Amino acid sequence: MSASNSPIDLAKLVAARRAVDFVESGMRVGLGTGSTAAHMVRELGRRVREEGLEIVGVPTSTATARLAEELGIPLTTLNEAGSLDVTIDGADEFDDTLTLIKGGGGALLQEKIVAAASERMIVIADAGKHVGTLGAFPLPVEVLEFGMQSTRRHIAALLDEADVSGREAVFRERDGARFVTDEGNHILDLHLGRIGDARRLATALNTVPGVVENGLFIDLCDTVIIGHSDGRVEIGDLASGAFTEEHGTGEEGENLFRDIAG
């Protein structure tokens, strides 16, 4: 275990390694985007190399595709795969109903399409992503460039009537320029503080002309795996509504803290 690995990095790694236990040879796997998902992709790559795991992956961003290719994971497109057995991805926030906020990495559109095409969605996260009420993390909304200021005004008017605590809508920037998604769109980050009714807000946002998709993932996540830096994991199951705890070191003494870079 590298001394430079932060507790959050270790928690993400623990969750990612537990999640890939659900992947079996022959599966079509959706590959998420973001720092937590990157740990999962690396671990899948290790299993492909060392265990002969036979899978085909569908990446949710160009960044994930590049990483998977470097690690030797065979890739295909969602059009070619048709449907997926499982998608493993991170989340920016999730609540007890496994409703998510996603899109901090700017890939929410592809992530939602891939999740919706999957028999099962597994979310991996550190404990800090588990919240009682969604909204502390800004809600990303992907919008077309055409008429985007008009779209922003419509969203602002919608938020005036919404059950939220904040109403600031800011176009995301990166390196001093407006952020552009893989699809050539832009991201409005909504600083809401608290979302009282996620389903109603998601429906309302997607009726605004110019909105492509929003970062509320509702009725998509089946399982969440929460990692802890001491090797423990909590697994939340949508069907049962329960969270169960597992210890990170099993009877065979498997070391969950192999070098992150490995």
Provide the CATH number for the domain formed by 7-129+219-238 in this structure: 3.40.50.1360
The token duo for 39 is 């740990």
The pLDDT value recorded for residue 250 is 38
**Ranges 12-21, 42-51, 195-204, 242-251: which has the least confidence:** 242-251
Q: What radius of gyration do the chain's Cα atoms show?
A: 18
Numbered residues of the known binding site: 33-36, 89-92, 102-105, 129
Numbered residues of the known binding site for substrate: 33-36, 89-92, 102-105, 129
Catalytic residue among 111, 142, 213, 234: 111
In the chain, which segments carry CATH 3.30.70.260? 139-211
Residue 93 annotated in active site: no
Q: Model confidence at 247, in pLDDT bands (50, 70, 90)? A: confident
CA 186 to CA 188: how far, in whole Å?
A: 7
Local structure of 240: helix, strand or coil: coil
In the chain, which segments carry CATH 3.40.50.1360? 7-129+219-238
**Topology of domain 139-211, CATH:** Alpha-Beta Plaits (3.30.70)
For residues 80-102, give the mean pLDDT.
97
CA 104 to CA 181: how far, in whole Å?
A: 11
Beta bridge partners of 242: 237
The pLDDT value recorded for residue 256 is 45
| pTM of the predicted structure, to 2 decimals | 0.92
For residues 166-189, give the mean pLDDT.
97
